Structure 1
Amino acid sequence: MNSAELLELTCSQAWPPLLEDRIGDWRLRWADGFTARANSALAIGDPGKPLPEALRAVCDFAHDHGVPPVVQVIQNTSTEDAIAAHGWVHHVEHRPAHEVRVMTGPLPRGTSAGAVVLDEPTPGWWELTTGGAEPAEAPRHVLGTGKVGFGVVESDGGTAGAVRGGIVGEWLHIARLEVREEFRRRGLASGLMNAIGAWGAAQGATGVVLQVALGNSGALKLYENLGCTEHHRYRYWAPAPGACEDRPS
């Protein structure tokens, strides 16, 4: 298994679905539609059956659980070429995040600008990262499972910024970095990154990994300024229209 595949498995462990099944080495994931990462098949390794059968199984699993059939594939690999050859297409409906850069770098170190990392998310953290102070089961599970830190910075009596950090082995997986629009360009994003970096170091992490939509130029610039570089990319693929209909019951 190469380094990109190993890193994808690490990221998958840091973002656990509600339900996971397997086709050989492939992971079929469902989280009631909350994020593509937790509701797609991670095509890593050998599916243990011919590719048309594996893709049919992806379709069946998705239809059984009420989500669109989607496969997450490392870009520019033989697996991606084979899936394209079987009539699947880029899942552009998931714009702007159908193509993602996976970045790695050192643990951020510097001033936290008032940010702190909590063991439990606050209502303000949930509201900023998911849009509601009382999230449903799926986001609670995906974002709250594992060794997780919840970074927040408060200002003017409310939550101005938030971030999530999850530990998998020696990696700190960072996600859900958000700063309210009226508080941007004040250094809060860097402060949150520094705070979650210090927390990760205390948990034994030695580096960070992030999954960033290619179109998220602001986040990419921030992470590059913190020393992160691209490790690899992945894309989401979906069946062409009419190619993955429900089987008759």
Structure 2
Amino acid sequence: MIGTMPGVPDLERLAARTWRGLEEERHGDWLLRAGGGFSGRANSALVVGDPPSDLPTAVAAVTRWYAARGARPMAQVPSPGSEAADDAFAAAGWARGEDVLVLTASLGSWPEPSVPVELAPTPDEAWLRGYRYRGTPLPPVASAVLANADDPVFAAVRTAPGSAPTAAVARGVVVDGWLVVTAVTVDDAWRRRGLATAVMAALGSWARDRGGHSCLLQVSGDNAGALALYERLGFTEHHRYHYRLGPAPARSPT
């Protein structure tokens, strides 16, 4: 990797530029994001740095911001560095979610892809069907969230030439020399054929052509298969984050 490894706050802010909410607002150093309910990162408060008030007041402000949008309040809490804020969310009764690992690797030694990988600036319908977010089809708002970055690229391995269904997909964005990879999905019928490695390699080559030197991705701590793949590609853990979930918004009487 080039230069000094960024700390947790800087790396989280960098990643947030590649996967944005459709609405964003600063609350001190915190970043409030809403994206129609699609994905935790686009619908949570990124808790790095300091809010403009004491922590209990800040937690209440975050709660109100999401309640005004009819959404359940959510906070993305990285560690190390945000332990005091995490304690404040816990004290307010916010439930804790699972750990997500933030992994980093150098792009310098990745191989060329072993199968043809298409790269496109926008996802077609086959790509959208191929991306299974947490194992489920995408909601309509997903397309807007996926496109809401500076020059994203969408990688696909097709089951046949043309606009055939995808066997594997992934998304990449380069920011400040960092390739941030998301949406890596391999169809169940095409697993164990090296396709995840192929889309990662294609994105790595694309990023190196644009001055990329390092890669970042996020993966659930219980995803053993993905962790094994990324370890083979040279990824190591930089830090972790988890979500805090506030109370569900009150429903209006019908």
TM range (shorter): 0.7 to 0.9
Matches within 5 A, 1:1-249: 3-77=7-81, 78-84=83-89, 86-92=91-97, 98-107=98-107, 109-112=110-113, 113-129=115-131, 136=140, 138-145=141-148, 146-156=150-160, 157-239=164-246
2:3 paired residue number? none
Contact 2:44 2:74 in 1 (8 A): yes
SS of aligned partner of 1:199: helix
Q: Is the 8 A contact 1:124 1:158 kept in 2?
A: yes
Deviation, structure 1 residue 23: 1.3
Mark the runs of 5 or more structure 2 residues left unpaired by the alignment. Answer: 1-5
User: Using the alignment, how far apart are the partners of 2:146 and 2:26 within structure 1?
Assistant: 22
Check the 8 A contact 2:103/2:239 in 1, yes or no: yes
Conserved in 2, the CA contact under 8 Å of 1:129 and 1:176? yes
TM-score (norm. length: structure 2): 0.86
Deviation per CA, 1:86-141: give whole Å up to 9, x if none: 3344433xxxxx310000001262131211212221211111115668x62x3222
**Change in CA separation of 1:117 and 1:48 when aligned onto 2, cut-off 3 Å:** same
Task: Tell me how far apart the structure 1 counterparts of residues 194 and 249 of structure 2 sit (CA, whole Å).
Answer: 48
Residue 95 of structure 1 corresponds to which residue in structure 2?
Answer: none
Does the 8 Å CA contact 1:16/1:38 hold for their aligned counterparts?
A: yes
Identity %: 35
4+ runs deviating over 4 angstroms: 130-133
> How many pairs align?
236
Report the aligned-residue RMSD: 2.2
Using the alignment, how far apart are the partners of 2:22 and 2:182 within structure 1?
18
Contact kept in structure 1, 2:66 and 2:72, CA below 8 Å: yes
Q: 1:20 to 1:184 in 2, by over 3 A?
A: same
Structure 1 stretch displaced more, 101-110 or 209-218: 101-110
Q: Secondary structure at the match of 1:38?
A: helix
| Cα distance between partner residues in 2 of 1:212 and 1:132 | 19
What secondary structure sits across from 1:127 in the alignment? helix
Give the deviation of 1:75 after TM superposition: 2.4
1:131-190 deviations in Å (ceiling 9; x for gaps): 668x62x32222112121110011144211100001111110000001110011111111
On the 8 A contact 1:165/1:196 being kept in 2, the answer is yes
Could you tell me which amino acid in structure 1 is paired with residue 165 of structure 2?
G
Q: Distance in 2 between matches of 1:84 and 1:160?
A: 41
Query: Aligned equivalents of 2:194 and 2:177: distance in 1?
Result: 27
- Contact 1:162-1:178 within 8 A present in 2 as well: yes
